[in-house]
Amino acid sequence: MTDPAAGQTRRGFLAVVGASALAGCGAVERFADGDEPTIRSHELPDVDTGDDERPHHLLFPAVPVPIEDAYLGAGRDRTTELLSGLPTPLGPDEIPNGHIREHVLDAADHATEDIDDARRAETGLMALRAIRESRQNARYAAEGWRFVSEGRRAAPLREEYRNAVAEARSFDSEYTYLGDDPVRAALVHARIETALRRATDDEGPSVNHDGSALLTVAEWGEAAESAHVYLDDARHLDAQFRASLPADAGTVEARLRGAAEALLADLRSRAVPPEPTSGDWEAPERVRWEVRDEAVDGTTRVSEAAGPASALLDATGRLAGFGALERVRQRIEEGEQFRVESAADVRRFRQTAVDALQSTLGTGPTPGLVRTVLTNAADRVWSADWELSRAQGDVRPAQLADPVSEYVVATALARAAPDAAERTVDALESA
């Protein structure tokens, strides 16, 4: 049930400031003059939202192997089995402490919602993720209740967790990077690398519940299930990929590693513009700051990544970041101020981003590689859409600086994606 702590990134800070401003908070009053005209929130782009009132994503991550329905079904069955032991209803008679009871109930509710998300998933990879999360949440709830009903303790769950981690490490140590197409191989192997890194993380949960033994047991149950399901996912992806390969397919590990090392060496040699000073908060500097992160943040050496395939894809993303940075720089030099004076301006920036995503998706000889960059750009559009969906009443144009900068960066990334993918293909051919 614990989420990774959100880092204090510049993008995260700007998102919080922007969301607070659009919701009516006066935290960014310094961005506007007192006589600045306002824009009615209902005139802003009509963002399509779901039942949870969050915007819909425009593009989802994918992996170029089929996820078997039987595998997803087994995951659903596992979730159902775990939840079947919980009493209905689960009230104060079962768990008197309301705070602790809420944790268990929330986990059970999320597990059920995750199953629904898997059924609605637009890609096999998203269904895989949803089923994984359903198992994790269901195990948390189940072990929390077993503490009450059976006197469950954390020790056997810690042992189960360590055994699962050891099993994942054994699988990882014998893993072979088979493939006949290095680009497709990279896209699959990167997902497997990520799953194995999560499965072999031996730190365990960060348990701090003011002495609640029930929640400690629940956390260790979730940790054990997480290690199991990440390993299960890695094995399934590996099996599906191997089944799609010709019998004479060889290893591509050296090729992936060589290409990643070459690209990352090139990226390390590139000059990066300095960060804006605290006084540089006009729209052009704000956009430049945002897109600069796409070029700078990320893997710098193969050893930092989950593996050579992950390093290669991260390098592709950073190449796109540098390409986007150059596009933004050129626009600023040509006099672009990314100014917002009306709702029509916001609609224009958003539509340009959406058009860039849609026109680039599926293009070029390696659409799967391009898609890895586009999903990042689509996340930025979603972040901006979320902020707009929270707008209320009259909004000052300066309060729209953050979502507009997200649209601009998303546009630049989408347009830079094909060139970045081509550069990665060149590196693979030369490796």
pLDDT, tens only, 323-361:
999 999 999 999 999 999 999 999 999 999 999 999 999
What pLDDT was estimated at residue 30?
Answer: 31
Binned at pLDDT 50, 70 and 90, residue 239 comes out as very high
Q: What is the per-residue pLDDT for 205?
A: 87
**Domain assignment present for 309:** yes
- Looking at the structure, tell me whether residues 239 and 340 fall in a common domain: no
CA atoms of 313 and 324, how far apart (whole Å): 16
Final residue of a structural domain among 199, 228, 250:
250
Q: Report if residue 5 sits inside a domain.
A: no
In a domain, residue 304? The reply is: yes
Residue 316 lies in a domain: yes
Of the two residues 47 and 349, the one the predictor is more confident about is: 349
For residues 102 and 167, membership in a common domain is answered with: yes
- Does residue 107 share a domain with residue 14? no
Within a domain: residue 130?
yes
> How far is it, in rounded angstroms, from Cα 222 to Cα 312?
31
Last residue of some domain: 235, 250, 265?
Answer: 250
Q: Do 344 and 309 belong to one domain?
A: yes
Spell out a b/e string for 171-191, using b for 16 or more CB atoms within 10 Å of the CB, else e: bbeebebbbebbbbbbbbbbb
Q: Per residue in 263-289, pLDDT tens?
A: 999 999 999 888 777 666 788 988 998
Of 250, 267, 286, the last residue of a domain is 250
* Pair (54, 91) in one structural domain: no
* Residues 96, 44 within the same domain: no
Q: Which of 364, 365, 263, 277 is nearest to 321 (CA)?
A: 263
Residue range of the domain that includes 419: 10-60+252-430
Clarify whether residues 285 and 373 are in a common domain.
yes
Whether pLDDT at 386 is above 90: yes
Please check whether residues 295 and 380 belong to one and the same domain: yes
Query: Is 2 part of any domain?
Result: no
**Could you tell me if 223 and 357 lie in one domain?**
no
Question: DSSP state, 49?
Answer: B
Number of structural domains found in the chain: 2
Question: Could you give the percent of the chain with pLDDT greater than 70?
Answer: 89
Three-state SS at 74: helix
Give the pair of three-digit tokens for residue 232: 């299960």
Instruction: Indicate whether 345 and 317 sit together in one domain.
Output: yes
Q: Do 302 and 406 fall into the same domain? A: yes
Q: Are residues 45 and 83 in the same domain?
A: no
- pLDDT at position 6 is 35
Question: Are 226 and 160 a contacting pair, CB within 8 Å?
Answer: no
Give the mean pLDDT of 213-238.
97
pLDDT, residue 162, reads: 97
- Asked, for residue 3, whether it belongs to a domain, the answer is no
Residue 274: asked if its preceding bond is cis (omega within 30°), the reply is: no
Q: Which of 3-7, 10-14, 324-328 has the highest mean pLDDT?
A: 324-328
